Structure 1
């Protein structure tokens, strides 16, 4: 876990270092900036080579073939996220390089004058549509989960009971959906729900943990959606994904810096706890937009983001366990 966290931090530091370099080279156009970034990402930060690293390096000669196959899958419409990125950090690293390589150039004018991520207490559908729905600008809508049953029902034990009582629910996450351990020592949903009560409750002497998964099992999805609603401010004709995204864990590092390829903007509702989000603009926006943006999402708030266009990471703030549920919308 510690090694994965260190590599996640190293990648984030590399983003910021590259941005500083690009600020000194303002004459570079976005395509040149991005090409330089890709070269550095592929190179990666310097590391000591142990036996595991030697094994990974031995796979280097197979990488061009793997890249060709994966890029072919992208062109056919397959999703890169079908790689088990949550279970193997090296797979995540390869995935990030591929995602950056195929990502469209970002319109940096959108964040040129952006000084912070707004926290808005109330917003109409029309205002949300005009300012945030499809502009890629992150925003937090506060107190947006009023009346949701999830605020009183969702917990580690609730999810454990849900997935162990619905036949095939847990297996579907591991086989058909996606599981993310974010560098913590969990190999599967079964592993997560087999932890001791002391670890689940983070009693003194226990180590913090954080995991996430997507739910694509019909029976469990039906139950989950009895406890939350489609955010009231989403455009009237928009439809949310059939997938539910759930993230749960105690204070400490959550998701390390990454970019997604889910194709649509997302919403994430903070059901319990507090979470700090960090956003880093894509490399071509260096010198145009701020190096990074941070915002804290409180219980009851909903984070709106386009995770396909922003590098982002999360950190669970001190206090109670963090539970987040979300989805994509069109």
Structure 2
């Protein structure tokens, strides 16, 4: 069998842990397309069962025995990583391991946990690195945006601020399928037509425009220093009839630019947020449906989950951003 040559050993060593995983994932897909890997999830999981027994994620209450198991698992993965740099079959095996461990994680995670006044190190080690979503109940409660961001305020801000007036937004979507692709034009329609049900989202990708919005919020305190936030940010807004039925349609948050993390802060009203497992995990893991109240932030690892939302109150306003790991210190 002819094996394609990829990155050099020195090139792989220089990559961060997350980038190595991305590279291995690409190799996995290539081998899968060439039918060199098991075709079914059951065969795949059966192959990985011995490794999963020694390095499956521990429960939160398993004590010293769990610490020993995770240490052993880390050792196994480290050994495989070293072998990987010199042996292509090992890259195939490590790709198996990474995906199987993600499946194991989501199968053992019964609900999304709520944290308050949490240490950023805990968030990094227990949630982000485990690809587990988490809600921080006091994540945005001190932000100016939570106090001031209403539909009239945002309308005045975008119609009157010189930077926001002169820059275009990105990844624009609204429920009226407007051709103008501008928030101000949409809100004029909402006002003129007296609409009760509508939804709109856009990304402030222009650096100057994103900076204007950042003046109304701070970096979430629970994010560790190794997480570098993107300069852009999103505004998510929706409305439904007072005491009316919830719209069936969820809106997806897209255009992540390959980032590893997304957070959504609830500013006004309530959003119902769905987290959908990706890829092979979709057939093995359940999705989560969350309700975010004002001041709460949900942090979502994007390697495992896709994100969509809908309003659960008459008016709902959220703010979102993405980020990446600068490095992977253990």
TM superposition score normalised by structure 1: 0.60
Moved over 4 A (4+): 257-261
Q: How big is the shift at 1:262? A: 2.8
Instruction: Point out which structure has higher relative CO (alpha carbons under 8 A, 6+ apart).
Output: 1
Where does residue 178 of structure 1 map in the other structure? 171
Q: How big is the shift at 1:161? A: 1.9
C-alpha distance after superposition, 1:243-292 (max 9, x if no partner):
011101113356435766432201111001111112222241255323x2
2:163/2:209 contact within 8 Å kept: no
1:210 is paired with a residue whose SS is: strand
Distance 1:302 1:269 in 2: 4
Largest Rg, 1 or 2: 2
Match of 2:276 among 264, 275, 280: 280
Structure 2 vs 1, CA of residues 219 and 29 (structure 1 numbering), >3 Å: closer, same or farther?
Answer: same
C-alpha distance after superposition, 1:289-313 (max 9, x if no partner):
23x2211111110011123532332
Structure 1 regions of 5+ residues with no counterpart? Answer: 1-24, 31-103
Higher strand share: 2
Distance 2:216 2:277 in 1: 34
Where does residue 201 of structure 2 map in the other structure? 212
Distance 2:254 2:105 in 1: 18
2:204/2:232 contact within 8 Å kept: yes
Give the root-mean-square deviation of aligned CA atoms: 2.7
TM superposition score normalised by structure 2: 0.60
Where does residue 326 of structure 1 map in the other structure? 320
1:194 is paired with a residue whose SS is: helix
Asked whether 1:233 is paired with 2:222, we answer yes
Distance 1:131 1:282 in 2: 20
C-alpha distance after superposition, 1:195-219 (max 9, x if no partner):
25365xxx6xx34111111113344
Structure 2 regions of 5+ residues with no counterpart? Answer: 1-39, 46-97, 241-246, 325-330
Distance 1:260 1:198 in 2: 31
2:163/2:208 contact within 8 Å kept: no
2:139 is paired with a residue whose SS is: coil
Where does residue 300 of structure 1 map in the other structure? 295
Where does residue 136 of structure 1 map in the other structure? 131
C-alpha distance after superposition, 1:67-97 (max 9, x if no partner):
xxxxxxxxxxxxxxxxxxxxxxxxxxxxxxx
Distance 1:305 1:123 in 2: 16
Asked whether 1:250 is paired with 2:246, we answer no
Aligned residues: 223
1:90-109 matches, cutoff 5 A: 107-109=102-104
Distance 1:236 1:129 in 2: 10
Moved more, 253-262 or 293-302: 253-262
